[in-house]
Chains A and B, each alone.
Chain A
Amino acid sequence: MDAALAVASAAGESFKGRMRKHAALGMTVAALMSVGSLAAAGGASAKGTTKTAWAAGSSHNVTTEFAIAQGASPVYRQPSTHSGVLNRLAFYTPDNEALQTYQFLGTKVVAGTLWEHIAVPMRPNGQTGWVKRSWLGVAQVSHKLIIVNIPTETLTVYNHGKLIFTTPVGTGDLADGWPTPTGHFWIAEAFPSTDPVYGPWAFGTTDRATDTDFPDDSIVGIHGTDEPDLIPGDPSHGCIRLKDADILKLKTLVTIGTPVWIQ
């Protein structure tokens, strides 16, 4: 894949994760940097780096960095306190099931201050903003990747690009107007469920469903089910359902911060 195609792919995505694609992409580091500076176009005079590039069907060997907030600081639309405020950093996810994580997209130094380009979980999906690096905690790293393929109704987990798990899933009901929104998200919550409808374990993603009737911003979850016969299929209002044995297996493989690409 050449750099120009990578630019087109990146621009077409609703989410751009700071992910380091490895040699299998066939791109040079210089090309990646070039993609990044285009993707993260902001204050033109500032120095910036973005390691952003991927494409469907290419390597799944990605490294993702994320962190939690240090304070309820504003998230700006550009790396400047004079730009508009997109949102504020949150300590907790909308349903308080976890500390809110923010995925890194790239960095830029503006007037001696290091700014971090981050993905912001909010409606509509795919929002990104800028915060000062000091407003976020220590970066944590994930080398895993979940891909949910809606047409094939499967969920696949990669670790350092190596396929380690795949399972059939139930997804959102397109015919009823509740498709699972596609894009690049990550796991924001992981907790045991006491409600049989969600099976024994549930992950909350940063994806927001089209069906907005659910409380706490209608989070798209990945969870078990009390209706395993509907898997594979499209029985949900947007969530990704796994059979209980499979969600318990997935629980051991991924955790908060793991990117989830829904395509």
Chain B
Amino acid sequence: MAVAAQTHARTPHVAATRCGNKYTPTCTKPAIKTTTSTKCVSPGSNFTLPTVRFTSSAGIRRIQIREGSKILKTIKFKGQGPTQYKLKGLAVSTLRLDAGGHPLTVKITDIKGRTTTKTVSFAVCSTTPKIVNNPPSAKCVNTGGKYRLPKVTFTSNSGIRSVQVRTGAKTVKTVSFPGKGASQYTLNGLSIATLGLASGGHAVSLRVTDVKGRAATKTLHFSVCVSTPVFTG
């Protein structure tokens, strides 16, 4: 009596948990299941990876999460390894990430060396640029002297297109950044000539514009010395 080919292979009777033994040469590859969030993450706050479920009928040897070439997490299993693993609540810092999408590569390797990878993307929200300055000197500037602007830092997670410094209608400094722009620009001790300025208070306008056309402004103040006190003597 002829024997069916299927009977010779003996595979139909092998349980999944025994996949990878001599009876199951065509064992299935490991699998990754997860969801993606459509909400962007505020710059500086952590992105929490949605729950990721890893399965392998042969047994999991290693799980790895990467952001580009940077390895965020590696989990290794000894021996046969579990057939299922759930990764929950992995926090990814966005502190140094630009606005926009960022892919994370999730990779599982089973004990047979077979791998499956999946990309989980998230986005860092694009925010308006910011201007932060050191405290300016409250002291007046001698007539004809130079006002030294305190250290001012302009930041944008979308990219800075331009920075402008003005006193009244006069533009003191303009800096432009072509292409994607700079994420940060620092003005450290810019000197502004006061020659021709009247004694008393004056304002310096700072403006930063990002590549998306959003702008932030800030006004700093300084005083040119009157040099004739009107105190009570």
- Measured CB to CB, the residues of A under 8 A from B are 67-68, 91-93, 95-101, 137-140, 172, 178, 188-195, 197-198, 202, 204, 209, 211, 214-216, 218-221, 223, 236-239, 241, 255-257
Contact = CB atoms under 8 A, between A and B. Distances in A.
A211 B232 contact: yes
Contacts of A216: 230
Contacts of B232: 172, 178, 209, 211, 214, 218-221, 236-239
B135 A68 contact: yes
A215 B134 contact: no
B223 A223 contact: no
B135 A138 contact: yes
Contact of B231 (A137, A239, A255): A239
B227 interface: yes
- Closest A-B pairs by Cβ, 6 of them: A221-B231, A96-B200, A238-B232, A99-B138, A209-B232, A92-B201
Nearest to A99: B138
B138 to A, nearest CB: 4
A140 B142 CA distance: 22
Nearest to B134: A138
Contacts of B226: 95-97, 191
A189 B136 CA distance: 14
8 contacts: A92-B223, A204-B229, A220-B231, A223-B231, A238-B233, A239-B232, A239-B233, A256-B137
B228 interface: yes
Contact of A91 (B135, B201, B229, B231): B201
A99 B223 contact: yes
Nearest to A219: B231
Contacts of A190: 139-140
Interface in B127-167: 134-140, 142
Contacts of A255: 139
B225 interface: yes
A192 B223 contact: no
Interface residues of B, number: 24
Given A92-B221, A98-B140, A137 B135 contact: yes
Interface in B86-141: 134-140
A256 B233 contact: no
Contacts of B231: 198, 202, 204, 214, 218-221, 223, 239
Contacts of B222: 99
B227 A192 contact: yes
A140 B223 contact: no
B199 interface: yes
A96 B233 contact: no
Given A68-B135, A189-B140, A96 B199 contact: yes
Q: Give the most central of B137, B140, B221: most A CB within 10 Å.
A: B140
A236 B183 CA distance: 57
B151 to A, nearest CB: 11
Given A91-B201, A198-B231, A236-B233, A192 B138 contact: no
B135 A195 contact: no
Given A95-B230, A96-B226, A99-B221, A191 B140 contact: yes
Contacts of A214: 230-233
A257 B134 contact: no
